[in-house]
């Protein structure tokens, strides 16, 4: 086994322990490429589904180096999903999070985090779980990019609404703002902005977010009435005050 896979397994054991409500069941979805970790609460297959899509997770260490395991250490998205009272709620991890999968390579949570392959895997997982049901997609951080790309590229998904929380919607502008190299193995919703603008959508922005700064989202979103500024929220903290509002979307 590659050294990075051994390290990934050790990190996974250290950061994947958390309380999950009894009604949520852990299931791994095998797609044509990645294995995707999910927690699912399904009480009526004919009812709409609410799908919470995780962010980029622990993709990089504090020193800027790529981590050996992108499993998120923060619990914001899980807290949102596990407290949601809708009949059908899915927590959808990103490729290589929570699972050890031989296909995974560090580029899958760095330069290729929004690749065609990663997007296809997320789509296949959602489709396997939800079938032809109506969907609300809630994307946090990079999960918002995945939600948006799924919406514009897979017309068979019946998406009623797109909700973003500290969402990374414009990768080009984001990398330029932070003086980062372009994610040249990734897709970018920037190229589908007009198609994205046709969807019912709402965007929660942290007033103190220095990662996805409010101006980046303001410049991307076509209708400013779809923006909700959350005072006191940065990228990962201060969101509890709007948890219930997000869950009710």
In the chain the domains, ranked by start, together with CATH numbers, are 3-247 (3.40.50.1820)
- Contact, 189 vs 145, CB < 8 A? yes
Q: How far is CA 173 from CA 13, 168, 187, 188, 216, in A?
A: 35, 10, 13, 10, 7
Residue 174 backbone phi and psi in degrees, to 5: -65, -45
Tens-digit pLDDT profile for residues 144-190? 999 999 999 999 999 999 999 999 999 999 999 999 999 999 999 99
Q: Rounded to two decimals, what is the model's pTM?
A: 0.93
Rounded-to-integer distance, Cα 137 and Cα 127, Å? 12
Tens-digit pLDDT profile for residues 214-235? 999 999 999 999 999 999 999 9
Nearest by Cα to 122 from 32, 27, 5 = 32
Tens-digit pLDDT profile for residues 81-119? 999 999 999 999 999 999 989 999 999 999 999 999 999
């Amino acid at each position: 086994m590659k050294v990075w896979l051994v390290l990934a397994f050790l990190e996974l054991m250290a950061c994947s322990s958390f309380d999950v409500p009894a009604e949520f069941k852990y299931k791994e979805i095998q797609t044509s490429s990645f294995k995707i970790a999910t927690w699912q609460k399904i009480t009526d297959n004919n009812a709409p589904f609410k799908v919470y899509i995780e962010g980029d997770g622990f993709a990089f260490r504090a020193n800027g180096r790529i981590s050996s395991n992108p499993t998120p250490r923060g619990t914001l998205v899980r807290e949102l999903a596990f407290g949601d009272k809708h009949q059908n709620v899915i927590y959808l991890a990103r490729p290589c999070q929570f699972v050890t999968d031989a296909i995974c390579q560090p580029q899958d949570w760095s330069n290729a985090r929004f690749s065609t392959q990663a997007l296809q895997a997320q789509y296949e997982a959602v489709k396997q779980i939800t079938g032809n049901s109506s969907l609300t997609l809630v994307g946090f951080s990079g999960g918002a990019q995945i939600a948006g790309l799924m919406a514009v590229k897979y017309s068979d998904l019946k998406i009623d609404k797109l909700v973003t929380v500290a969402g990374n919607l414009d990768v080009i502008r984001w990398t330029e703002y932070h003086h980062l190299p372009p994610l040249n193995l990734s897709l970018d919703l920037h190229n589908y902005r007009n198609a994205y603008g046709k969807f019912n959508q709402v965007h929660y922005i942290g007033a103190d977010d220095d990662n996805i700064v409010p101006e980046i989202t303001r410049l991307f979103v076509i209708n400013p009435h779809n923006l909700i500024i959350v005072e006191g929220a940065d990228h990962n903290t201060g969101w509890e005050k709007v948890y219930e509002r997000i869950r009710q979307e």
